[in-house]
Structure 1
Amino acid sequence: MDDRLFAQKILELVGGQDNVEKSWHCATRLRIIPNDAAKINLEELKKLKGVLGVVQSGEQCQIVIGNQVGSIYQEFQKLLTQKNDNASQPASETKPEKKKTNIFSRMLSALVGCITPLIPVLIAGGMGKCIVMLLPMLKILDKTSSTYQILYFIFDSSFYFLPVFVAIAAAKQFKTNIYLSALVGATLINPTFIAMIQSGKPQNLFGIPVVPASYANSIIPAIVAIWALSYIEHFFDRYLWRPIKSFMAPLLSIMIVVPLTLLAIGPAMTWVSKGISLVMFFLSGKLGPFAIAIFALIYPWIVTTGMHSALAIAGLEAITKRGFDPFTRVLTLLHNITQGAATLAVAVRTKDEELRATAISAALTVFCAGISEPCLYGVTLKYRKPMYSCMIGGFAGGIYAGIMGVNAYVFMTPGLITLPMWINPNNTGNLQNLLNAVISAAIAAIVTFVVQLFMGIDEPKQEAVSE
Structure 2
Amino acid sequence: MPSSTDTSRSILKEVGGADNVANLTYCATRLRFQLRDRGRADLTALENTPSVLGVVPQGSDGVQVVMGGGVAEFYNAIVREPGMGDADAAPAKKEYGGVRGKYDWVNFCFEFLSDTFRPVLWALLGASLIITMLVLADTFGWQDFRAPMEEQPDGYVLLHAMWRSVFYFLPIMIGATASRKLGANEWVGAAIPAALLTPEFLSLGEAKDVVHIFGLPLVLNDYSSQVFPPLIAAVGLYWVEKGLKKIIPSAVHMVFVPFFSLLIMIPLTAFIFGPFGIGIGNGISNFLEWTNNLSPFILAIVIPLLYPFLVPLGLHWPLNAIMVQNLATLGYDFIQGPMGAWNFACFGVVTGVFLISL
TM-score range normalised by the length of the shorter chain: 0.7 to 0.9
Match of 1:334 among 328, 341, 347: 341
1:7 equivalent to 2:8? Answer yes
Give TM-score, length-normalised by structure 1: 0.66
1:250 has 2:258 as partner: yes
| SS at structure 1 position matched to 2:347 | helix
Match of 2:68 among 63, 66, 69: 66
Is contact 1:50–1:65 with CA below 8 Å preserved after alignment?
Answer: yes
Task: Answer yes or no: is 1:167 the counterpart of 2:172.
Answer: no
Alpha-carbon distance in structure 2 between the residues aligned to 1:317 and 1:298:
20
The correspondence of residues 38-49 of structure 1 with structure 2, limited to 5 A, is: 41-49=42-50
**Equivalent residue for 2:293?**
285
My pick for the range that moved more, 135-144 or 166-175, is 135-144
Q: What is the rounded CA distance, in whole Å, between the counterparts of 1:122 and 1:81 in structure 2?
A: 34
SS at match of 2:50: coil
d(CA) in 2 for partners of 1:80, 1:237 = 33
CA distance in 1, matches of 2:154, 2:234: 37
Corresponding residue of 1:28: 29
Opposite residue 62 of structure 1, the aligned amino acid is: Q
Change (3 A) 1:144 1:291: closer
Which residue of structure 2 lines up, in the alignment, with residue 129 of structure 1? 131
Higher helix fraction (1 or 2): 1
What are the superposed Cα offsets for residues 408-442 of structure 1, whole Å, 9 maximum, x if unpaired? xxxxxxxxxxxxxxxxxxxxxxxxxxxxxxxxxxx
Which is worse superposed, 14-23 or 3-12? 14-23
| Mapping for residues 211-250 of structure 1, pairs under 5 Å | 211-250=219-258
Matched, 1:349 2:351: no
**Residues 61 and 159 (structure 1 numbering): CA distance in 2 closer, same or farther, change over 3 Å?**
farther
> Which residue among 77, 80, 83 is the counterpart of 2:79?
77
Question: CA shift at 1:242, angstroms?
Answer: 3.9
1:152 aligns with 2:160: yes
CA distance in 1 between partners of 2:323 and 2:125 (Å): 14
| Partner Cα distance (1:137, 1:111) in 2 | 35
Give the Å deviation of 1:158: 0.6
Shift of 1:183: 1.0
In the alignment, which residue of structure 1 is the partner of 2:107?
A: 105
Aligned Cα root-mean-square deviation (Å): 3.0
Please tell me whether the aligned partners of residues 19 and 84 of structure 2 are also in contact (alpha carbons under 8 angstroms). no
Tell me, in whole angstroms, the C-alpha distance in 2 between the residues paired with 1:243 and 1:305: 42
Contact 1:23-1:31 within 8 A present in 2 as well: yes
CA contact (8 A) 1:296 1:331 kept: yes
Number of the residue aligned with 2:148: none
Equivalent position SS for 1:197: coil
- Does the CA contact (< 8 Å) of 1:30 and 1:62 recur in 2? yes
User: In 1, Cα distance between the equivalents of 2:164 and 2:316?
Assistant: 25
Quote how far apart the aligned CAs of 1:33 are.
4.6
Would the aligned equivalents of 1:35 and 1:96 in 2 still touch at CA under 8 Å? Answer: no
The alpha-carbon distance between structure 1 residues 25 and 47, as it changes in their structure 2 partners (threshold 3 A), is same
| Structure 1 residues 306 and 156: CA distance shift in structure 2, 3 A | same
Q: Work out the percentage of aligned pairs sharing the same amino acid.
A: 24
Please tell me whether the aligned partners of residues 168 and 182 of structure 1 are also in contact (alpha carbons under 8 angstroms): yes
| Code of the aligned partner of 2:66 | V
1:342 Cα deviation after fit: 1.4
Q: Letter of the 2:78 partner, please give it.
A: F
Code of the residue aligned with 1:267 in structure 2: it is P
- For residue 254 of structure 1, report the CA deviation from its aligned partner: 0.7
Report the Cα distance in structure 1 between the residues aligned to 2:94 and 2:195, rounded to whole angstroms: 36
Map Cα deviations across residues 283-313 of structure 1 (whole Å, 9 max, x no partner). 3222451331244334333333332233222
Q: Distance in 2 between matches of 1:314 and 1:234?
A: 30
Q: Retained in 1: the 8 A contact 2:111–2:314?
A: no
Match of 2:55 in 1: 54
Q: How does 1:59-458 map to 2 (within 5 A)?
A: 61-79=63-81, 83-84=85-86, 95=91, 98-99=94-95, 101-138=103-140, 144-200=152-208, 202-327=210-335, 329-350=336-357, 356=358
Once residues 199 and 61 of structure 1 are traced to their aligned partners in structure 2, the CA distance between those partners, rounded to angstroms, is 55
Question: Which structure 1 residue ranges, 5 or more long, are not aligned?
Answer: 351-355, 357-467
Distance 1:9 1:145, change over 3 A: same
- Gapped regions of structure 2 (runs ≥ 5): 97-102, 145-150
Query: Contact 1:36 / 1:99 at 8 angstroms: preserved in 2?
Result: no
The TM-score with structure 2 as length reference comes to 0.84
Q: Conserved in 2, the CA contact under 8 Å of 1:35 and 1:98? A: no
Change (3 A) 1:265 1:18: farther
